[in-house]
Structure 1
Amino acid sequence: MTNQKVVYITGASKGIGEGIAAFLLNKGYRVAISSRSMEAAAKTAQKLGNAENVLPLQSDVRSFTDEQKAVAAILEKWGQLDVLVANAGVGHYAPIGELSHEQWNAMIDTNLTGVFNSTKAALEAIIKAKGYIITIGSLAGANFFAGGTGYNASKFAIVGYSQALMLDLRQQDVKVTTIMPGSVASHFNNNEPSEKDAWKIQPEDIGELLSDLLEMHPRSLPSKVEIRPSKPPVKA
């Protein structure tokens, strides 16, 4: 058993998940990162360096069995799990007449049921550690927009899920926070990050915020945190 805290980040082969992993590694945490592709997870782990403190895992959060296996692998390697960061997510934006059943199911199964699966798989270890569960939501969980029926539904739902989960677990000394980012310079929705995204929140900014939450005094709990770019471009 080690005194270093162990963090499991889902959907962490790129974007926000990778940014969180990089920041926490630099702060001394041990980090497990998962992806639906083991190849992608291993490639990101190699990129992050610090091999002793990074564990790449293959897991599709839509599968409870996959998440159970991921948590078991973390416990086998490090003997503890202190923090779950439920980050995996997908987005499809289209008017309701054009949104397919496959796109709807992908968002609900990943963005909502996937978080439930991750939570259930990690719950016993997190309670034992008196740890922390952090869900990565979106400002789309508070602000609806045209073309967002599926994505808004999944993100509004994850806010409700996370806040109820917080009430379920607070008396067991487990903290729960949902982070709700606005525009992030990530690969989400097939974006390729570049200089055009310099005004956006950067993935490492989410990592810094998450690190601050983990280091906050146990008596205080920011249960819901909205974060947005400080100066977005002015629309013409």
Structure 2
Amino acid sequence: MDLVGKVAYITGGSKGIGYGVAKKLLQAGMKVAISGRTLETVQQAAEKLGKTDKVLAIASDVSKHGDEKKAVAQILAKWGTLDVVLANAGVGHFAPIDEMSDAQWHAMINTNLNGVFHTLKASVEALKKSKGYYISLASLAGTNFFANGAGYNATKFGVVGFTQAAMLDLRQYDIKVSTIMPGSVATHFNDHEPSPEDAWKIQPEDIGDLVLNLLHMNPRTLPSKIEVRPTRPDKK
């Protein structure tokens, strides 16, 4: 894919992995729309990214299909096409299953799992026209279960299954579909504040490089599920 002038949409793009990917795609000459629940926060991220003519800030709650339809409509109204979609928005609540609340469970299901469906459903017709690329951001938690992670594991196992099945559905339209499954990433996820102690982790821009690698892959070849982890774990 020749990336110059192509259009990408990144959910959860105001910080962390989404922001890191947006930065890399902009450097490659793409136009990028980023979304989040709070418009002010997304606008601040867009201003930080610079290249204001190539960045669009959108308020959208991925748990609401209507919000995602409006987001895609905004992108098409501004740029006329949509070539790459990264469904990145996610939340995490970690507790033993007997202590997890209904609200925590549904927050993860609605954002992490329903969100990837809403984003794809809203953008699929545009991707058919552009023969574009849809990428979901899953996790190694989508293949490795762990204590206190029942809700999070359930959503990420679901994201992996959903995306792999969608890949089989959509390749007949020349839409490429992949899921990226990172291990430890230095982000603000779960109220973490990145610091120099996170230097051993995957950095958000590393995921950006990975997305660029996928976009540059020969169209006859599709890495449909990518596991990625730190080269060396933290030594404690």
Scaled by the length of structure 2, what TM-score is found? Answer: 0.98
The answer for the alignment partner of 1:162 in structure 2 is 163
Deviation digits for residues 30-86 of structure 1, max 9, x if unmatched? 000000000010000000000010000000000111001000000000000001100
| Counterparts of 1:125 and 1:71, CA distance in 2 | 9
Q: Report how far residue 232 of structure 1 moved.
A: 1.0
1:74 is aligned to 2:75:
yes
Partner deviation per Cα, 1:11-39 (whole Å, 9 max, x = no partner): 11100000000011001010000000000
Tell me how far apart the structure 2 counterparts of residues 85 and 184 of structure 1 sit (CA, whole Å). 17
Q: What SS does the aligned partner of 1:176 have?
A: strand
Unaligned ranges ≥5, structure 2: none
Tell me which residue corresponds to 1:98. Answer: 99
Q: Does 2:210 match 1:209?
A: yes
Equivalent position of 2:59 in the other structure: 58
- Name the Cα RMSD after superposition: 1.0
Aligned to 1:31: 32
In the alignment, what sits opposite 2:43? 42
Q: Give the Cα separation in 2 of the matches to 1:112 and 1:68.
A: 17
- Distance across 2 between alignment mates of 1:53 and 1:176: 24
Moved over 6 A (4+): none
Size of the aligned set, in residue pairs, is 234
Matched, 1:229 2:230: yes
Determine the C-alpha separation between the residues in 2 that align with 1:120 and 1:158: 14
Give the residue type in structure 2 aligned to 1:166.
M
Q: Does 1:146 align with 2:152?
A: no
- Contact residue 4 and residue 30 of structure 2 kept, 8 A: no
Per-residue CA deviations over 1:119-153 (Å, capped at 9, x if unaligned) read 01001000110000000000000000000000000
What SS does structure 2 have at the residue aligned with 1:56? Answer: strand
Structure 2: how far apart are the matches of 1:33 and 1:47? 12
SS in 2 for 1:40: helix
Contact 2:186 2:201 survives alignment (8 Å)? yes
SS in 1 for 2:226: strand
> What pairs with 1:2-13 in structure 2 (closer than 5 Å)?
4-13=5-14
Cα pair 2:137 2:180 within 8 Å, conserved: yes
Residue 4 of structure 1: CA displacement? 1.4
CA shift at 1:234, angstroms? 3.1
Aligned to 1:135, the other structure's residue is in SS state strand
Residue 8 of structure 2 aligns to a residue whose secondary structure is strand
Residue 3 of structure 1: CA displacement? Answer: 6.7
Aligned residue in 2 for 1:175: 176
Letter in 2 for 1:210: V
Residue 111 of structure 2 corresponds to residue 121 of structure 1:
no
Instruction: Provide the rounded CA distance (Å) in 2 between the counterparts of 1:5 and 1:216.
Output: 16
